[in-house]
Chain A
């Protein structure tokens, strides 16, 4: 799906109609997107300051807060001739992202730490600080856009559908959007790289970070969690309760998972369809047993008012948005049965490219 460029979007400052000379704080990860975001703000005549967040003190591959990434962000700021600061949110990150991540696994849930970081760090403490420091806007390099129709601001998917990040930003309220800009949301990734190369920025060809920034490829999720919680072997049972295999750690099994389940060479595809942490038991089944009519949801965040009725619902960062119905209690029923969504995952509601809100999966509806 490639969204049409929306005339009413105001992702880039020059299209926002704001007076040149606004004071903007650009959150710079050391990657190409936020580098170009800063350059676009500068080009639009704004007073730009860059900031990089130190979030994680432990080992990491590349993530958003490695020293080399801070070096890259600082160097880009030097090249652009803007001030650069580093804010230390390691304590907040540990408390609001890492600990809940570990705790969710302990409870058999599948958390999304990037959403937690956006919700509790970037668009909470950082946004609050930007306001206190007198900045007119906080800018990030996320691939999303803000539309403004009849004076109401709405979060929209980014122009590059393959890079769209609206799923991880569903928590942003209309009030938040009034203080935010996402200048790169109008561009495709290759356009951003070209722009960065033209500006001679050292991040122009830097590979993207993909995985959870605080978990190293070498150690992996299992070792990260094993250092923090006890992991317990799980028995795998079928729908009838018959034991059919084992898994090394019940805390690491995700509903919908197929790989890593030792089913003794069973020929048909089987998935984890239910995780019972207390009993250390994972129920496995075929695709039909994995499907559900809907998703039980908690912790809703709405763009404006709660939505009831037909929506498109997305259950992973780059998964499809599928037709569904949200009832008055905010519970979701699919138009056609879909795979169960692991508890802890976000479900985001759209109308076209517009984000209506989102919530956290807590189970399935039959």
Chain B
């Protein structure tokens, strides 16, 4: 976590532990921390503070967007087949449909248009497109997506899961076409267990978690004051440093990819570098299974990922690469290396040293 986030949260774990919905002095202090965080978040995202709903994380925010909008409007939802499961599964649950992507992981706009057509099925009230894909790093062109929606189903709203994207693009500008946006605190140096759904004025959404009516009746449940304060502090700092971070991390990511491409035969990047976010480096390595590679890398303190894990902890074949048309046996050799705001050059050098040797051992 960012030190500023830890510093921001501790007063609300130690002294100021009151429930912010209370009417007394200590409660008002807690409440002020939440309101401060709400303004920081709103400014960073380019949304109105009244539209900021704090949740338990990105998954809850995605679920609230998809289920909340479609249930309020009696519609269904669309999303690309490359979305995170936090969007895919709720879209499935509301009877929604998937939109194809091309080999580069970008939304197939013709297919999106066809799926928005009245004869494609039940009316679409929400299209959810991830700003930056968590596996491939592909950056979505939300402007173009909004344009297709505007031409084919102007009533439909655009939601973006910006859980990864917030780090790697000018979020307020990139998300400008979106009606709803999800964030997760732990992806930018905040704590786990806190997230945001940002909502534009006029969006109709029905609450999915009912109770005390917190968050303007859109998300009940006692506020996670410490988490919210920390999320606000982390996002505030990110907002200040993002441009510098992107430059620094881009160089490290390029160094990492170049180092591995040079020293491992049969190694390719899954998407063009110019199309992906700085912090995500996804490679396909011939002749190995990433599941085994990760065991070896672990010994060298290189902590990487294949695709997604299931409930058992087993690696599941990547649905993102499958949607991009990568064969299953090739996808078994996919390696995802994530860089973050705190990544240091020595870590990149260690990875460049360790990974080729481990690949060689497995081959």
Interface residues of chain A, those whose CB is within 8 Å of chain B, are: 49, 52, 54, 65, 67, 70, 74, 83, 85-88, 90-91, 129, 132-134
With A88-B316, A132-B292 as given contacts, are A83 and B298 in contact (CB-CB < 8 Å)? yes
Which residues of chain B from 220 to 261 have a CB within 8 Å of any chain A CB?
A: none
Q: Interface code B306-350, partner A: CB below 8 Å = 1, 0 otherwise?
A: 000011111111000000000010000000000000000000000
The contact of A74 among B292, B313, B316, B362, by CB within 8 Å, is B313
B361 CB within 8 Å of chain A: yes
Can you give 8 A-B contacts (C-beta < 8 A)? A54-B310, A70-B314, A86-B312, A87-B291, A88-B291, A88-B314, A91-B328, A134-B361
Residue contact A133 to B292, C-beta cutoff 8 Å: yes
Residue contact B312 to A133, C-beta cutoff 8 Å: no
A-B contact count (CB 8 A): 44
B296 CB within 8 Å of chain A: yes
Closest-by-CB residue of A relative to B296 is A133
**With A and B bound together, what is the CA distance between A275 and B175 in angstroms?**
67
Most B Cβ at <10 Å: residue of A70, A88, A129: A88
**With A and B bound together, what is the CA distance between A67 and B312 in angstroms?**
5
Q: Interface code B275-296, partner A: CB below 8 Å = 1, 0 otherwise?
A: 0000000000000010110111
Interfacial chain B residues near A88, Cβ < 8 Å: 291, 310, 314-316
Residue contact A54 to B312, C-beta cutoff 8 Å: yes
Interfacial chain A residues near B310, Cβ < 8 Å: 54, 88
Interface residues of chain B, those whose CB is within 8 Å of chain A, are: 289, 291-292, 294-296, 298, 310-317, 328, 361-362
Interfacial chain B residues near A129, Cβ < 8 Å: 289, 292
**With A and B bound together, what is the CA distance between A88 and B289 in angstroms?**
11
Interfacial chain B residues near A132, Cβ < 8 Å: 292, 361-362
The 5 closest A-B pairs by CB, nearest first: A54-B314, A88-B314, A86-B313, A70-B312, A86-B314
Closest-by-CB residue of A relative to B363 is A132
Closest-by-CB residue of B relative to A85 is B295
Residue contact A67 to B311, C-beta cutoff 8 Å: yes
Most A Cβ at <10 Å: residue of B291, B294, B298, B314: B314
* Known contacts A83-B298, A85-B295, then 6 further A-B pairs from the complex at CB < 8 Å, ordered by chain A residue: A54-B312, A65-B312, A70-B314, A74-B313, A86-B312, A88-B316
Interfacial chain B residues near A90, Cβ < 8 Å: 314
**With A and B bound together, what is the CA distance between A48 and B200 in angstroms?**
54
**With A and B bound together, what is the CA distance between A90 and B328 in angstroms?**
13
**With A and B bound together, what is the CA distance between A271 and B210 in angstroms?**
62
Interfacial chain B residues near A74, Cβ < 8 Å: 313
**With A and B bound together, what is the CA distance between A364 and B242 in angstroms?**
76
A174 to chain B, nearest CB (A): 26
Interfacial chain A residues near B316, Cβ < 8 Å: 88
Most A Cβ at <10 Å: residue of B295, B310, B315, B316: B295
**With A and B bound together, what is the CA distance between A83 and B294 in angstroms?**
13
Residue contact B295 to A70, C-beta cutoff 8 Å: no
**With A and B bound together, what is the CA distance between A278 and B189 in angstroms?**
66
A48 to chain B, nearest CB (A): 14
**With A and B bound together, what is the CA distance between A49 and B362 in angstroms?**
18
Interfacial chain B residues near A133, Cβ < 8 Å: 292, 295-296, 361-362
